[in-house]
Amino acid sequence: MTDTVHVALYDTFVDWEIGYAIDHINNPEWQKTPGRYAVATVGATTAPVTSTGGLRMLPDTTLDDLDPRGSAMLILAGNNIWNTDTFTPFAEKAGEFLRAGVPVAAICGATGGLALAGLLDEHAHTSNAAEFLDGVGYAGGSRYRDEPAVTDRDLITASGIAPVHFAREIFRRLDLYEPDVLDAWFALYGLRDPAGFYALANR
Among residues 149, 172, 174, the alpha carbon closest in space to that of 160 is found at: 149
In a domain, 198, yes or no: no
The DSSP secondary structure of 100-156, one letter per residue, reads TT--EEEETHHHHHHHHTTTTTTS-B--S-HHHHHTTT-S-GGGB--SSEEEETTEE
The SS3 assignment for 31 reads coil
Q: Taking the model in full, what pTM does it have?
A: 0.97
Q: How many domains does the chain have?
A: 1
| Residue 190 known to be catalytic | no
Is 196 part of any domain? no
**CATH number for 34:** 3.40.50.880
Q: What is the pLDDT of residue 173?
A: 98
Chain-wide mean pLDDT for the chain? 97
Res 145 pLDDT > 90: yes
Q: Does residue 38 sit within a domain? A: yes
For the cut 90, the answer to whether the pLDDT of residue 1 exceeds it is no
Specify if 164 maps to a domain: yes
Report the C-alpha gap between 109 and 161 in whole angstroms.
Answer: 11
End-to-end CA distance of the chain: 25
> Does 79 map to a domain?
yes
pLDDT tens digits along 82-123: 999 999 999 999 999 999 999 999 999 999 999 999 999 999
pLDDT band at 2; cut points 50, 70, 90: confident
Length of the chain counted residue by residue: 203
pLDDT digit string, tens, across residues 5-18: 999 999 999 999 99
**pLDDT score of 186:** 98
- The pLDDT, as a whole number, for residue 102 is 98
- 89 lies in which domain range? 3-177
Residue among 146, 145, 85 nearest 117 (CA): 85
**C-alpha of 34 from chain center:** 20
Asked if the structure places residue 159 within a domain, the reply is yes
Structural domain includes residue 190: no
pLDDT digits (tens, 9 = 90+) for 14-52: 999 999 999 999 999 999 999 999 999 999 999 999 999
Catalytic residue among 108, 158, 170, 181: 108
**Residue 188 domain flag:** no
pLDDT band at 203 (very low <50, low <70, confident <90, very high): confident
